[in-house]
């Protein structure tokens, strides 16, 4: 598929009918991995070869196609196979709702009355479509969001929300890069984002490519910077936002939001509408291996048998969020009313017209 993106880290090779992913754990070295089976796909998502909510959703959609194709070689019941593939993939990571939205949508396409080939074509087309749609959504988020950024802004961001986390130019980082192109950004403060260092390794890599001035800081420096009036705006992404505006994002986001409120700094969350979850009223927070905290590149940092608690995400309450930047526009409080209106009413308007 020919995608108009500056950097594509999710490649579906049509000739070989295989999925190839940039291994984000290895950056800045560019190493690519091939997804040959459903188990490879689950491992790639769990081990964070690919990460970031929208990117996980897109990879899950391609993996669904590959998984059904693989398992139908030894089975005849496509509905059963599809459920099995959905179950396997849904166990890869629990927080990013894009994963579950993509899997449910793919599963609902299965029609046992149709041939296996026809079902596979539908699943492949769906994955391509999801990828293309994410590119478009990213562009809209960047355009709406950059309007909000005042001139000469010093922006603080957390984790990685750029091309590497999505199918397109990114969410929060897409806004920042677009605002930079419009001459509005003085500098970006990049939280290193312990323990996986998505800021140091991924966001720094993307900002360097885009020639945006930035400096990496340790996560705990944010308060010092804010107190010294060195931050004008905070923009982060999201892994799941509930109907009332509760927002799951990379661990450390909640602390930033509290600090921003205290220092009267606007705190924005940028996300595609596919990251809203209007069905559930709580968010499962992933807990990852203690090794992520206690080791660095395989070297032990703590005394033997040290315990560590490693939640990968936290939940920011809506009262700390100045606005959501989405592909359908900016959503301001009251969130309970305005999120529902933006997601459901605007879709209805589009269908009716
Ligand atoms: O653990 P990760 O790297 O998958 O966490 C990613 C984040 O928290 C991002 O901020 C979020 O997915 C938004 S990506 C556009």
pLDDT in tens, 87-139: 999 999 999 999 999 999 999 999 999 999 999 999 999 999 999 999 999 99
Do residue 225 and residue 296 come from a single domain? Answer: yes
- Residue 182, pLDDT > 90, answer yes
Ligand 1, residue 162: give the atom nearest the CA: 15
Distance 254 CA to ligand 1 centre (A): 14
Could you tell me the pTM of the whole model? 0.95
Distance 41 CA to ligand 1 centre (A): 18
In a domain, 216, yes or no: yes
Tokens standing for residue 167: 């199918």
pLDDT classification of 79: cutoffs 50, 70, 90: very high
Please give the pLDDT value at position 4.
54
Share of the chain above pLDDT 90, in %: 94
- Residue 1, pLDDT > 60, answer no
Arithmetic mean of pLDDT over the chain = 95
- Residue 348, pLDDT > 70, answer no
Ligand 1, residue 198: give the atom nearest the CA: 3
Do residue 209 and residue 337 come from a single domain? Answer: yes
Instruction: Quote the radius of gyration of the chain (alpha carbons, Å).
Output: 20
For 152-163, write each residue's pLDDT tens digit: 999 999 999 999
In a domain, 55, yes or no: yes
* Contact residues for 247 (Cβ-Cβ < 8 A; gap 6+): 238, 240, 241, 253, 269, 315, 316, 318, 321
Please give the pLDDT value at position 211.
97
Query: 117, 138, 159 — which closes off a domain?
Result: 138
Strand 32-35 to 18-22 pairing: antiparallel
pLDDT classification of 204: cutoffs 50, 70, 90: very high
Please give the pLDDT value at position 7.
74
Tokens standing for residue 228: 């010294």
List, in sequence order, every residue forming a beta bridge with 190; answer none if it has no partner.
Answer: 157, 216
Which residue segment(s) compose the domain that 203 sits in?
142-352
Query: 110, 138, 166 — which closes off a domain?
Result: 138
Do residue 92 and residue 146 come from a single domain? Answer: no
Do residue 162 and residue 266 come from a single domain? Answer: yes
Query: How much is the average pLDDT of 25-48?
Result: 96
Q: Is 261 exposed, middle or buried (0-12, 13-18, 19+ CB in 10 A)?
A: middle
In a domain, 1, yes or no: no
Do residue 262 and residue 240 come from a single domain? Answer: yes
Please give the pLDDT value at position 259.
98
Ligand 1, residue 159: give the atom nearest the CA: 10
Report the CATH number at residue 56.
1.20.120.420
Please give the pLDDT value at position 351.
53
Do residue 165 and residue 245 come from a single domain? Answer: yes
Q: Which of 44, 135, 239, 254 to mutate to test the pocket of ligand 1 (most atoms within 8 A of CB)?
A: 239
For 242-294, write each residue's pLDDT tens digit: 999 999 999 999 999 999 999 999 999 999 999 999 999 999 999 999 999 99
Number of domains in the chain: 2
Do residue 133 and residue 146 come from a single domain? Answer: no
For 217-250, write each residue's pLDDT tens digit: 999 999 999 999 999 999 999 999 999 999 999 9
Specify whether 128 is catalytic.
no
Q: Is 151 exposed, middle or buried (0-12, 13-18, 19+ CB in 10 A)?
A: exposed
- Residue 44, pLDDT > 70, answer yes
Please give the pLDDT value at position 179.
98
Top-confidence residue, 350 or 211: 211
Tokens standing for residue 101: 């939205």
- Residue 2, pLDDT > 80, answer no
Ligand 1, residue 250: give the atom nearest the CA: 8
Distance 71 CA to ligand 1 centre (A): 30
Query: Which DSSP string do the residues of 111-139 spell out, in sequence order?
Result: -TTS-HHHHHHHHHHHHHHHHHHHHHHHH
Please give the pLDDT value at position 236.
98
Q: Cα–Cα–Cα angle for 97, 311, 254, nearest 5°?
A: 75
Distance 78 CA to ligand 1 centre (A): 32
Q: Nearest to residue 239, comparing CAs of 255, 221, 254, 217?
A: 254
Do residue 238 and residue 341 come from a single domain? Answer: yes
Ligand 1, CB cutoff 6 Å, lining residues:
51-54, 96, 159, 161, 165-166, 171, 198, 237-239, 249-250, 312
Dihedral sign of CA atoms 258, 260, 263, 264 in order = negative
Query: How much is the average pLDDT of 27-42?
Result: 95
Do residue 96 and residue 181 come from a single domain? Answer: no
Report the CATH number at residue 256.
3.40.50.10470
Terminal Cα-to-Cα distance of the chain (whole angstroms) = 30
Please give the pLDDT value at position 344.
82
Whether 303 and 118 have beta carbons less than 8 Å apart is answered as no
Three-state secondary-structure class, residue 233 = strand
Q: Which of 51, 94, 163, 314 to mutate to test the pocket of ligand 1 (most atoms within 8 A of CB)?
A: 51
CA dist., res. 258 & res. 240, Å (int): 19
Do residue 81 and residue 154 come from a single domain? Answer: no
Please give the pLDDT value at position 83.
98
Distance 96 CA to ligand 1 centre (A): 8
Q: Which of 25, 53, 166 to mutate to test the pocket of ligand 1 (most atoms within 8 A of CB)?
A: 53
Q: Which of 98, 165, 169 to mutate to test the pocket of ligand 1 (most atoms within 8 A of CB)?
A: 165
Distance 95 CA to ligand 1 centre (A): 10
In a domain, 278, yes or no: yes
Distance 160 CA to ligand 1 centre (A): 6
- Of the residues 232, 239, 277, 327, only one is catalytic, namely 239
List, in sequence order, every residue forming a beta bridge with 214; answer none if it has no partner.
Answer: 188
In a domain, 39, yes or no: yes
Ligand 1: residue whose CA is nearest its atom 8: 250
- Residue 347, pLDDT > 60, answer no
Cα–chain-centroid distance for residue 196?
15
Tally of CA atoms within 13 A in the half-sphere of 52 that contains its CB: 37
Please give the pLDDT value at position 33.
97
């Amino acid at each position: 598929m020919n995608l108009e993106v500056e950097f594509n880290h999710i490649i579906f090779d049509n000739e070989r009918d295989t999925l190839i992913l940039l291994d984000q754990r290895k950056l800045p070295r560019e190493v690519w991995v091939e997804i040959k089976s459903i188990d490879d796909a689950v491992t790639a998502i769990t081990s964070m070869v690919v990460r970031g909510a929208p990117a996980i959703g897109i990879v899950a959609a391609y993996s669904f196609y590959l998984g059904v194709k693989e398992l139908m070689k030894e089975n005849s019941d496509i509905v059963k196979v599809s459920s099995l593939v959905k179950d396997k993939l849904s166990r890869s990571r629990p927080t990013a709702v894009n994963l579950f939205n993509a899997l449910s949508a793919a599963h609902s396409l299965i029609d046992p009355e149709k041939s296996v080939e026809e079902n596979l074509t539908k699943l492949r087309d769906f994955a391509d479509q999801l990828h293309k749609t994410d590119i478009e959504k990213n562009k809209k988020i960047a355009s709406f969001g950059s309007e909000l950024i005042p001139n000469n802004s010093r922006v603080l961001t957390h984790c990685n929300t750029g091309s590497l986390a999505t199918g397109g130019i990114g969410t929060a980082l897409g806004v920042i890069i677009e605002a930079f192109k419009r001459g509005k950004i003085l500098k970006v403060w990049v939280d290193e984002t312990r323990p996986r260092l998505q800021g140091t390794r991924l966001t720094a890599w993307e900002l360097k490519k885009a020639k945006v001035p930035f400096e990496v800081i340790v996560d705990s420096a944010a308060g010092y910077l804010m107190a010294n009036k060195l931050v004008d705006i905070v923009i982060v992404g999201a892994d799941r936002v509930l109907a009332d505006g509760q927002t799951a994002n990379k661990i450390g986001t909640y602390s930033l939001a509290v600090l921003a409120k205290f220092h009267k700094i606007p705190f924005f969350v940028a996300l595609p509408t596919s990251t809203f979850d209007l069905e559930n009223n709580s968010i499962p927070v992933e807990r990852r291996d203690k090794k992520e905290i206690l080791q660095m590149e395989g070297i032990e940092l703590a005394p033997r048998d040290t315990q560590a608690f490693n939640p990968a995400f936290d939940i920011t309450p809506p009262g700390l969020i100045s606005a959501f930047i989405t592909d359908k526009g900016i959503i301001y409080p009251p969130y309970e009313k305005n999120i529902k209106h933006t997601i459901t009413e605007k879709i209805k308007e589009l269908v009716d017209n």
